[in-house]
Each structure stands twice: as C-alpha cells, then as structure tokens.
Amino acid sequence: MASSDSNFSKMQEDALRRVLEMQQRSKEAVASQEEKPEHPAHADNISSILDGIKIDEEKALIAMLIFILYKQGADIKLLMGLAYLLL
C-alpha cells in the first residue's frame, strides 16, 4: 500500500512539473509573438496583387482552392467543377 501511495505521489509531482513546463513554454511563445512586427491585413495585400492581374478576389480564391485540392489528390470531377466556376 505504501509503495502505491509513493508511486501516486511521484506521478502527481511529475504531472505538476509537466504542467509548469507547458505554462512556461506558452508564456514564452506568447512573448515571442508579441515581439514580432504587425503585418498589414492580408485582404489589402491580395487586393493590391489582384489589381495588376485584373481578377476578382472570388476567382482567385477558387483558383487557390483548386490548387490546394489538386495537391491533396482530390477527384478530377471536383476540380473540373470548380474550374467551371472560373469561366
């Protein structure tokens, strides 16, 4: 009985140690993210890129979706259906 109690105590101490380590890591991650400079809104970047290409945002989004699905091995019928929307 005493060995199971000591084993349980060791497990509790180990769990507490891991929780404290995870809290420390999360604090460090948040601090490093706060130090990074702010980037302009992605919508503004996409709009400025698309202004030169003369394509609207919806079509660009569909084209990106087709590309991602193609890389993931999607069904060709799905890809052709999405490509039809670009016409």
**Residue range 3-22, pLDDT digits in tens:** 777 888 888 888 888 888 88
Residue 39 has pLDDT above 70, yes or no: no
What is the pLDDT, as a whole number, of residue 66?
A: 93
What's the pTM?
0.40
- List the domain boundaries for the chain: 1-38, 41-87
Residue 18 vs residue 44, higher pLDDT: 18
Q: Return the HEC string of the chain.
A: CHHHHHHHHHHHHHHHHHHHHHHHHHHHHHHHHHHCCCCCCHHHHHHHHHHHHCCCHHHHHHHHHHHHHHHCCCCHHHHHHHHHHCC
Tokens describing residue 72: 């993931």
